[in-house]
Amino acid sequence: MISRRRFNSTLIEGAAALSIVSSLRAADKSPNFVVILADDLGYGDLGCYGHPTIRTPNLDRMANEGMRFTQFYAGASVCSPSRAALLTGRLPIRTGINRVLVPWSAGGLRKEEATIPEALKPAGYATACVGKWHLGHLPEYLPTRHGFDRYFGIPYSNDMSPRTAGNPTYIQQLKQHADAPEYTPLLRGEDLIEKDPDQSQLTARYTEEASAFITDSVKAKMPFFLYMAHTFPHVPLFAGDRFRGKSPRGLYGDVLEELDWSVGEVRHSLSSLGVERDTLVFFTSDNGPWLVQKYEGGSAGLLREGKGSTWEGGFREPGIACWPGKIPAGAVTESFGTTMDLLPTFLKLAGLGVPKDRVFDGADLSEVLLENRPGREPLLFYYLGPELQAVRKGPWKLHLAATNPGIGENWVTCFERPQLYNLLQDPSEKYDVSDSNPETVEDLERAIEEHKRTLQPGPAQT
Amino acid sequence: MISRRRFNSTLIEGAAALSIVSSLRAADKSPNFVVILADDLGYGDLGCYGHPTIRTPNLDRMANEGMRFTQFYAGASVCSPSRAALLTGRLPIRTGINRVLVPWSAGGLRKEEATIPEALKPAGYATACVGKWHLGHLPEYLPTRHGFDRYFGIPYSNDMSPRTAGNPTYIQQLKQHADAPEYTPLLRGEDLIEKDPDQSQLTARYTEEASAFITDSVKAKMPFFLYMAHTFPHVPLFAGDRFRGKSPRGLYGDVLEELDWSVGEVRHSLSSLGVERDTLVFFTSDNGPWLVQKYEGGSAGLLREGKGSTWEGGFREPGIACWPGKIPAGAVTESFGTTMDLLPTFLKLAGLGVPKDRVFDGADLSEVLLENRPGREPLLFYYLGPELQAVRKGPWKLHLAATNPGIGENWVTCFERPQLYNLLQDPSEKYDVSDSNPETVEDLERAIEEHKRTLQPGPAQT
């Protein structure tokens, strides 16, 4: 670690120097972590990822002052599985969170799973979840039962009440479940504090809540972990007064520009409290753009397809990490990374070990982040629900089947023969090169067999 | 202009101050201009425009130190017409350069046209064209007959000899023309100096030539205009030894990374000669990616289609302007601009008037560049050959017809009813909204009628 080297080379004289060393050591051992997660944001939706008319100056600045990933992945291409992967460092198939949970779901993230906040607790972290949870709305599954000291937010998607849902079939299902609330619940801790909160105020309220938590943690001299999972830009879209009607991209742009503002506010809180250099901030999204929403859905840029698909547009996301003085400024990395890497990375940076009693799919990214070294060889299994549709190994991706949500009700195509793509040379997955690379096809098929042979799926949560 | 204001507010005392004022004045009146034009580069092919595996640190730095356009256009989606538009500030239909010229073409850019170097000559500019010309290979059409003091390069595309052409029909046609050279000619001035030069050395040789011209001009204390039109990344692709096999994107990436290196070298020449702050460098491309080349063609990012099409991927290009101390660093502009704007912009910055004897389609961009002000309302007519296929006015684009070169031999679809797209909200041209915006359709149809009514097409060059 960079800071350890700096510590070793420091000449120590007198009490003042000792106090500096002590504060360095504390920061080394227990840096703060802030994860900011967008909802349904596409790979191509930020200025620094090439969008022509969405203005994201705060995220662009964060990239300039930190590191921007070009091959960073979510653990799934829909909400609940992706969030389970991020918080546990494990593929959704292992936790059983294979599908999107609904307001009448009986299941959720089981207590047997270890989450980032639980794993950080031994080092004395204050922890908070602000925003969308979507890992079970029943009390036993809420953030407060999974290592978070605080929770403030809506426990599932903002389109899951009869008033906000766009899908008539869904509304019909909802009405058949007497136990499912007919409103969008806003919780504090485990308490319902508002039914159907004004969604145009949510981003601002989440931001205020995040800043309050950061302030309280700094005052309490506790290291902290903030998991800030925005409700937006998931449809239905709502922007605050200051942002509505301002973006040339329309309402989707307004919403995203407010989210960008929020990132700036959180970083401002850190700097005004003097903990900017003790805090790793990571920004990404849960899955790709919801393309069937047309104007109100985002863009995967040059990547194929979006949310609900195992094409790259569903899984690959913006990934921006910032930690002034630790992560080299302005770095762009092609290193492979996934949201499942956050758990082992944070534990490493906090000087904690990863639990030995279970399989993790993520890996420690700290050398990529702190030293801008090339990361490990990419390996990712792309599930849709409990079905494995594709695998990436190195530059290659083998597709066994694919879902193109844009052409109907989750239309699945099972290919007669697997299709092979070189993601470095053909990021848009246009050219199937399986014919000319039979050995690579076999290699990836072996990786799938090995994965399936050793896999222990978790109990499916619905 | 910013610099004029600075001049007015300067206190002038003694000879030293006078000499500063005089040099400011000289720089104001006659800044140097360097246009670097790539060939078939897509909107999505640079790091700063979101490509995940092509590394363009020099162009990214140039964007960080200058201004990046997100709505900058070529004048056409194929080589010759686009180059005619850039050099004359006029739509190709006006100059008659509607189609790609070939080694047996009898025509070219007529002497009646005024080019950027010709227009700059009254202010004493040294001028050079380095690289691909493609506006007529016969002596009367060469750069040296159009205001360039020097020329070094191949006068047309690098795939136009029997040895480099990929298209059998083309080779057959070529062989039927006894007057067409069966090699790729490298010219210096108007003289053939090599047949079939080693294309892997071209980018390095062009770079050396550009630096020599800059050095000579600075030594001669002359303001200069350099038009550096790279042969690449047009197929067939060749990269120098230092770049071949280096990019994760494959050969296309190697070639582009060498081109990026070249941009860095040219900027280094400017700074080492102390004229960086007196020189506006503009980087763009002639048209979008040649998608039918698959792995060897580029990417238009989130834009639809590529070269040879009037969809945005054919016309919209990276546009990066850098002029330290004049153009605000790190600016990203959504202002509309086209290569046809370069002529009036350069003339304005050089204190020269635009000729009154003809119609120009470009407009002065100097306020966008120097003051980061919003530009004029977009207005662009998208021709393919002599056929008008689309018009952009404001955020709207009306398509009368479209060509999808990817699906066959320049397959043209004439729409039964025009299609309307909102380019700010739907940059990928996915959602035809003509039904819900009949007044906008009418408005754009009127713009087309007005354009056609007043248009005087130039004699078609073939």
Q: Tens of pLDDT along A263-315?
A: 999 999 999 999 999 999 999 999 999 999 999 999 999 999 999 999 999 99
Q: Tens of pLDDT along B86-99?
A: 999 999 999 999 99
Distance CA B374, CA B369 (A): 10
Does the pLDDT value for residue B3 go beyond 80?
A: no
Contact B349, B30 (CB under 8 A): no
Distance CA B98, CA B460 (A): 7
Residue from B64, B70, B372 to probe the interface with A (highest A Cβ count within 10 Å): B70
Q: Which of these, B282, B182, B161, B296, lies nearest to B232 by C-alpha position?
A: B296
Hey, is A423 helix, strand or coil?
coil
The pLDDT value recorded for residue B27 is 45
Taking phi first (over 0 means left), then psi (-120 to 50 degrees means alpha), and beta for anything else, what does residue B372 get? Answer: left
Tell me, yes or no, if B137 is annotated catalytic: no
From A51, A134, A230, A234, active-site residue: A134
Contact with chain B for residue A314, Cβ under 8 A: no
Between A49, A295, A300, which is nearest B426 by CB? Answer: A295
Contact with chain B for residue A426, Cβ under 8 A: yes
Q: Is domain A2-9+27-376 annotated with CATH 3.40.720.10?
A: yes
Q: Do B248 and A424 touch (CB under 8 A)?
A: yes
Hey, is A393 helix, strand or coil?
strand
Question: Boundaries of CATH 3.40.720.10 in chain A?
Answer: 2-9+27-376
CA dihedral B79, B82, B84, B88 (to 10 degrees): -160
HSE-up of B295 (CA within 13 Å, CB side)? 14
Please report where in the chains the tokens 């597709």 appear, as a residue.
A399
Q: Which of these, B330, B362, B310, B397, lies nearest to B61 by C-alpha position?
A: B330
Residues in chain A: 462
Tell me, yes or no, if B129 is annotated catalytic: no
Mean pLDDT (chain B) is 92
Q: Which of these, A53, A68, A40, A24, lies nearest to A282 by C-alpha position?
A: A68
Q: Is domain B382-454 annotated with CATH 3.30.1120.10?
A: yes
User: Quick one: DSSP state of residue A52?
Assistant: S
Predicted structure pTM score: 0.92
What ipTM was predicted for this assembly? Answer: 0.91
Which of B:99-158 have CB within 8 Å of A? Answer: none
Region A381-454: CATH code: 3.30.1120.10
The pLDDT value recorded for residue A407 is 52
Question: Boundaries of CATH 3.30.1120.10 in chain A?
Answer: 381-454
At B409, phi and psi to the nearest 5?
Answer: -80, 85
Residue from A425, A433, A436, A437 to probe the interface with B (highest B Cβ count within 10 Å): A425
Q: Tens of pLDDT along B116-138?
A: 999 999 999 999 999 999 999 99
Question: Boundaries of CATH 3.40.720.10 in chain B?
Answer: 31-376
Q: Which residues pair with B397 in a beta bridge?
A: B392, B421
Q: Do B424 and A70 touch (CB under 8 A)?
A: no
Q: Tens of pLDDT along B30-88?
A: 999 999 999 999 999 999 999 999 999 999 999 999 999 999 999 999 999 999 999 99
- Which string of DSSP letters, residue by residue, matches A228-290? EE--TTSSSP---TTTTTT-TT-HHHHHHHHHHHHHHHHHHHHHHTT-GGGEEEEEEESS---
Question: Boundaries of CATH 3.30.1120.10 in chain B?
Answer: 382-454
Contact B44, A43 (CB under 8 A): no
Kindly identify which residue of chain B lies nearest to residue A70, measuring between CA atoms.
Answer: B52
Q: Do A250 and B301 touch (CB under 8 A)?
A: no
- Where residue A382 falls among pLDDT bands split at 50, 70, 90? very high
Q: Which residues contact B20 (CB under 8 A, 6 or more apart)?
A: B10
Does the pLDDT value for residue A158 go beyond 90?
A: yes
Sign of CA dihedral B236, B238, B243, B245: positive
User: Quick one: DSSP state of residue B414?
Assistant: E
Q: Which residues pair with A414 in a beta bridge?
A: A401
Which of A:32-71 have CB within 8 Å of B? Answer: 44, 47-53, 55, 60, 64, 70-71
- One CATH from 3.40.720.10, 3.40.50.450, 3.40.50.2300, 3.10.50.30 for B31-376: 3.40.720.10
Long-range contacts: B174-181, Cβ < 8 Å, 24+? B174/B102, B174/B103, B174/B104, B177/B103, B177/B104, B179/B104, B180/B102, B180/B103, B180/B104, B181/B103
Contact with chain A for residue B430, Cβ under 8 A: yes
